[in-house]
Amino acid sequence: MSTRKRLAAALVASVLLLAGCSFGKDDEKPAPPPAPDLTRAPGAVAVKKGPFKAGPVKAPKRGALFGAWIKPDELTHVGRLAAVDSLQADLGRSLTIVNTYRRFEQMVGTPSDKEFLARGATLMVSWATGDNRSILDGNHDDLIRKQARAIRKTKVPVMLRMRWEMDRPNLRATMWSGPDYIAAWKYVREIFRQERANNVSWVWCPTAEGFIRGDAPGFYPGDDQVDWTCVDVYAGERFEPIGTLMGPFLTWAAQRPKPIVIGEFGVARAWGSAGRAAWLRDARRTFKVNPQIKAITYFESNPEGNGPKKQFQLTGDPPAFKEFESMVKDPYFNP
């Protein structure tokens, strides 16, 4: 072979190598990562059993309260009641906690709120407060006072998740920073105190991802400001055991003298019926070996516009729903 041909061959080989090209068996696509081991016994780190100072909504001495958010077909009084009633009928039990979402200007005390409370359920209000610096400038004092009075008028204990998932990167434009969020939290809580809204348990609820990244703890207002610690955790983009997904949070929360509520949890339909059922079975074990977890609330919703890795509704998936039903009928979740 001539020198010119040898150089040409070497050049072609170099280009193929840089492009990641190869021949034969090496041309096959790499194998997918192995499925997570959901049979291994979950680790336990949050083992405090209490009693805890949890504010007006008391943590059970043993076991954990069960609740859910169920997306209604229509965001009306009738729609909200129908959604909750349908899930309760399918499960054969009532929800102890009803999670409900409110924009900053939406008040607690709607007809459906009153109906759920009359039935003996506890409301967990996920309240999307606005720009933290705007709050601190006093621009929303009247609105905050109105909400405080509305919650006070319920005359029953209410769990309040003030701007849950505050650590999400896409909220940074309104959260600004951890210190800004903490200052706004204290500002809002002081207004509630002035309005004698003493029936609120304050729930601090970041994301499991925020603890994996390491930035969520910087938003914590302090043990003297928080009644329940909380986390939202999903097997969505990452199909891993729930103990792995929320492990950094549990390690952190185990050092706090607070009960834990799983504010939202869910497993995406993308992982298949058998995978979802196995994930839920593992979640049940994980909750029970971490007795500091005193409440769990499932996210029974398929948010519009999301792909299959962010669709979490269990209704309509018999194998997964059967496992979910078995979990919530466990006496541990009926304290």
- Tens digits of residue pLDDT in 91-119: 999 999 999 999 999 999 999 999 999 99
Out of 165, 209, 300, 323, pick the active-site residue: 165
Contact 122, 66 (CB under 8 A): no
Residue 32 falls inside a structural domain = no
Please tell me the pTM assigned to this model.
0.89
Is residue 3 scored above 70 in pLDDT?
no
Report pLDDT for 9: 47
In a domain, 189, yes or no: yes
Residue 160, beta-bridge partner list: 125, 202
Tell me: pLDDT of 220 over 50: yes
Residue 34 has what pLDDT? 62
Question: How is residue 42 annotated by DSSP?
Answer: P
Q: Is residue 14 part of a domain?
A: no
Residue of 105, 237, 264, 325 marked active site? 264
> Is residue 22 in a domain?
no
**Which pLDDT value is given to residue 164?**
98
Q: pLDDT digit string (tens) for 119-173? A: 999 999 999 999 999 999 999 999 999 999 999 999 999 999 999 999 999 999 9
Q: How many independent structural domains does the chain possess? A: 1
Q: How far apart are CA 124 and CA 154, in angstroms?
A: 13
Residue 299, classed as helix, strand or coil, is strand
pLDDT at position 110: 96
Q: What share of the chain in percent tops pLDDT 90? A: 84
Question: pLDDT tens digit string along 287-310?
Answer: 999 999 999 999 999 998 889 999
* Contact criterion met (CB below 8 Å) for 238 and 36: no
Residue 1 is assigned to a structural domain of this protein = no
Q: Are 294 and 52 in contact (CB under 8 A)?
A: yes
Q: Is residue 34 part of a domain?
A: no
Contact 269, 38 (CB under 8 A): no
Q: How confident is the model at residue 36 (pLDDT cuts 50, 70, 90)?
A: confident
Res. 25: pLDDT tops 60:
no
The number of beta carbons lying within 10 Å of the beta carbon of residue 140 is 22
For the chain, the average pLDDT equals 91
* Cα–Cα distance measured from residue 216 to residue 108, given in angstroms and rounded to the nearest whole number: 27
Range of the domain at 141: 39-333
Residue 21 lies in a domain: no
- Identify the CATH number of the domain in which residue 197 sits: 3.20.20.80
pLDDT band with cut points at 50, 70 and 90 for residue 248: very high
Active site residue 165: yes
Q: Give the closest residue to 264 by CA, choosing from 227, 299, 288.
A: 299
Omega of the bond leading into 257 within 30 degrees of 0 (cis)? no
Distances in whole angstroms, Cα of residue 64 to Cα of each of 58, 97, 329: 11, 11, 12
Q: Which residue did the predictor score with more confidence, 12 or 171?
A: 171
DSSP state letters, 261-303? EEEEEEE-GGGHHHHHHHHHHHHHHHHHH-TTEEEEEEEE---
Q: Which tens digits make up the pLDDT trace of 164-208?
A: 999 999 999 999 999 999 999 999 999 999 999 999 999 999 999
Comparing 21 with 56, the larger pLDDT belongs to 56
Q: Is residue 4 part of a domain?
A: no
Q: Is 264 a catalytic residue?
A: yes
What φ, ψ does residue 292 adopt, rounded to 5°?
Answer: -70, -20
| Encoded amino acid at 326, one letter | S
| pLDDT average, residue stretch 262-285 | 97
**pLDDT at residue 224 tops 50:** yes
For residue 262, the model assigns a pLDDT of 98
Instruction: Output the six-digit token pair for 168.
Output: 């999400």
